[in-house]
Amino acid sequence: SEKAYEKAVDRLLSSPAFGDHWARHWFDLSCYADLADISGNVLIRDAWRYRDYVIASFNSDLPLDRFIHEQIAGDLLPFDTARQRREQIIATGYLAIGPWTLQNYIKKQLDADVVDHQIDRIGRTFLAQTVSCARCHDHKFDPVPTADYYALAGIFHSTRTTSYDGPGVWSAINEVQLPDPAITPEDADQRARQRAGLQMQVQKLQPELTSLLPGIPGATDANVLTLKQSIPANDVDTSYELTLLAGPSVWAGASQHTSARDGLQIDLIREDGTSLRRFQHSPGKWLGTKDAQRFHKVRFNYKGDGSGDVRLRLTSATPGNSRFGGAIDDLAIVKLTLKSDDSGQINTSQVVFEEDFNGLSRGPITGVQAHTGLTVLAKATVPRWSGDGINHTHAVDRGDGNYAVQFYGGRAVGLAAANPQTAAEKEAHARATALEKQIQGLGVQISKLQKQEAPEHALAVQDVDTPTDSPIYRRGDFQNLGDEVPRGFLSAVPGSGDYAIPEGTSGRLQLAHWLTDSRNSLTSRVLVNRVWHHIFGTGLVRTVDYFGVHGEAPSHPQLLDYLAHRLRADDEWSLKKAIRRMVLSQTYRMASTNNPAALQSDPDNRLMWHMPRRRLTAESIRDAMLSVSGQLDQARGGPSLGLEMNGNIRGAGGNVNPATWGSRIPDYIKNRRTVYLPFLRKRPEGDLEILSVFDFPHPNDITGARPQTTVATQALFLLNAPFVKQQAAAMSARLAGEQPEERG
């Protein structure tokens, strides 16, 4: 009956599976995947938050105009609650997640490519226009001049999508900390103040503890070089100059390098173990291969006190695991004296110590650094010096046998393991022990506050600090700049000149409003055409991603305008109402039987004389097999992949090993609905090969209409694939267990 049919429609529209199904159509357009880089080896841990946002938006029937606003400018929209603010930030993952070439070392090129994809995605998804064709020249066919492209580009160049901190080549997708709805702003401020106060206390105490550790034998495993013999460089009231060459260094990977806060430490130690003088120097941050042999002269001056000869001790100024203080070469101490003769007073100098480190002996480990091309020696030995620490002495060949020594920061191994000998060392040990206990107590309090806060992050965009207009890139070349273009929209679309972009903002909010302006009916036409395409198998405009000159004309232009108007005015941008109207129509409920006469006059069914048969999507085939076999995991939402897989995932900008993750889905999630599985930026394979066989689109491509192929591999897959056999066996066991009397 009519009422029963309507009831069935309403039941399906209210099902949680509605969001799963329609979100997958959206992800075809938004290029969603769980890997950030186009090469497929950088996991983004928080991509699933955007996926869950889209599914929840469709299930809650979030108006499509609001859906557009939140995805393009959610971070700029007003909000009433922390939960709303949180969801709006997550929504901008639409712009943040994409097929970026994050390892591109030419960062301006990366930025230009990211912006181009964002323009292309918005142009095709909401306007069905190939705006990105105007990147290098005016559009050949449609009224999109290059100036319009760079008016939009200015908006997205003023939006932070990726970030680069160096020193390697990898960029990262921008992350934003999410507000916690359970914590009031007052609570958050109070905790932040408490934590800041505790951290300030640690910052005051830590430098003293750090300075004491190198003087306590066994307290740190940082590599230390200590001169075996004392040198006469401490005459009373005598001036000395200590000189050296210092430079930054890098070890096995670009992440293991001298940073801006690292440094070198040189101690002059008396015979009783007390320190005469301590010198520290930061050689500067290692920024790349150009720093491999960059050393500069450093000078320190001191005055002797006559307390006896001294020894030199060299180490890192900042003990800390995986950090290098830097490299030292050509170390010397010069005695400065002032003498008088007949012509007056003159300065003289006498070298009392010098070391070029070129006489060192190679250790058991020698290799060539991939990042510098220099030969590096691990666990080398240097005559006249004793080496201690976890890696002993590192050395780097600067060329022609000219060596410099590198200093590894190491880590504090615990004062309990220390072995102080002299009175000065024992005094330092007692003070360091007291400081360590105090710092540990503060650390416990800080950890408690951090656990209470437990900040979460989302892949999201933000306005840059200083939004600016973009110049035209002549022929698309970022190095060949033309005139600057004010930020704006497509000049051929009504209303484009009515939205002024305020100073200090990117213009994303104005772009979102312009896209859904009632005068801009193009967006609503494109959206209802996409809905029609998914319901009837073919859009009223069959080129769903392109309404331009070379796109197909609509088969029913009045119907397209009617549906677009109803979406905007009557349905208030409700997707569910638009779908309900279509599926309750007589057109949708027509039979699929053949009519020879109609087939001859309208073989493509453009006049809708029958309901076309439509293919199941690859996801529907897979999920249906799991469902009938009883194996479908009904869980919804949450991370696509367990993030506890050691050695496989290394953070938002870390690497993923495709050999262990790319082809095989972990057992504990492999039976989830397809939309909740992790997706790589490549053709699905292994456990997800079924998707590739049945025309699942490549996640790097903006796909409004999936291809439909009929090939032998599809039939063979359904006969022979291990996945199909497993589900067939499970279904047989399920049926046998439920109805044993029907077994033949």
pLDDT digits (tens, 9 = 90+) for 287-319: 665 565 678 899 999 999 999 999 998 887 765
pLDDT digits (tens, 9 = 90+) for 434-444: 887 888 888 88
Q: Is residue 36 part of a domain?
A: no
> Tell me, what DSSP letter sits at residue 100?
B
Q: Which residues contact 545 (CB under 8 A, 6 or more apart)?
A: 124, 125, 128, 702, 704, 705
Q: Is residue 674 part of a domain?
A: no
pLDDT at residue 657 in the model: 42
Q: Where are the alpha helices (DSSP H) in 47-106?
A: 47-59, 64-73, 82-91, 93-96
CB atoms within 10 A of CB 230: 15
Q: If DSSP codes are grouped into helix, strand and coil, which group holds residue 425?
A: helix
pLDDT at residue 102 in the model: 84
Number of domains the chain is built from:
3
323 in Cβ contact with 265 (< 8 Å)? no
My answer on whether 428 and 440 are in the same domain is yes
My answer on whether 245 and 318 are in the same domain is yes
Q: If DSSP codes are grouped into helix, strand and coil, which group holds residue 605?
A: coil
Q: Is residue 541 part of a domain?
A: no
My answer on whether 197 and 232 are in the same domain is no
Distance, CA of 15 to CA of 635 (rounded, Å): 14
Domain end marker among 519, 549, 569: 519
Q: Is residue 200 part of a domain?
A: yes
My answer on whether 294 and 370 are in the same domain is yes
Counting Cβ atoms within 10 Å, is residue 475 exposed (0-12), middle (13-18) or buried (19+)?
Answer: exposed
Distance, CA of 372 to CA of 404 (rounded, Å): 14
My answer on whether 350 and 261 are in the same domain is yes
Kindly report the backbone phi and psi dihedral angles of residue 327, in degrees, each rounded to the nearest multiple of 5, phi listed first.
-125, 150
pLDDT at residue 254 in the model: 54
My answer on whether 235 and 139 are in the same domain is no
pLDDT digits (tens, 9 = 90+) for 328-370: 899 999 999 876 666 655 667 899 999 998 888 877 777 676 5
Print the domain residue range for 442: 184-220+422-453
pLDDT at residue 544 in the model: 96
Q: Is residue 601 part of a domain?
A: no
My answer on whether 193 and 92 are in the same domain is no
Structure tokens at 296: 């500069």
Q: State percent of the chain over pLDDT 90.
A: 50
My answer on whether 283 and 323 are in the same domain is yes
Domain end marker among 475, 492, 519: 519
Strand partners, 297: 245
Q: What is the mean pLDDT of the chain?
A: 84
**Given a cut of 60, is residue 132 above it in pLDDT?**
yes
Peptide bond preceding 143 in cis form (omega within 30 of 0): no
My answer on whether 345 and 243 are in the same domain is yes
My answer on whether 433 and 485 are in the same domain is no
> Identity (one letter) of the amino acid at 162?
T
- E-only strand ranges, 441-582: 456-459, 462-463, 470-473, 481-485
Domain end marker among 377, 411, 445: 411
Kindly report the backbone phi and psi dihedral angles of residue 689, in degrees, each rounded to the nearest multiple of 5, phi listed first.
-60, -30
Question: Rounded to two decimals, what is the model's pTM?
Answer: 0.69
My answer on whether 342 and 426 are in the same domain is no
My answer on whether 465 and 445 are in the same domain is no
Q: Is residue 547 part of a domain?
A: no
Distance, CA of 613 to CA of 259 (rounded, Å): 63
Q: Is residue 248 part of a domain?
A: yes
> Tell me, what DSSP letter sits at residue 489?
-
What integer is the mean pLDDT of 597-623?
A: 92
Q: Is residue 23 part of a domain?
A: no
> Identity (one letter) of the amino acid at 282?
S
**Given a cut of 60, is residue 646 above it in pLDDT?**
no
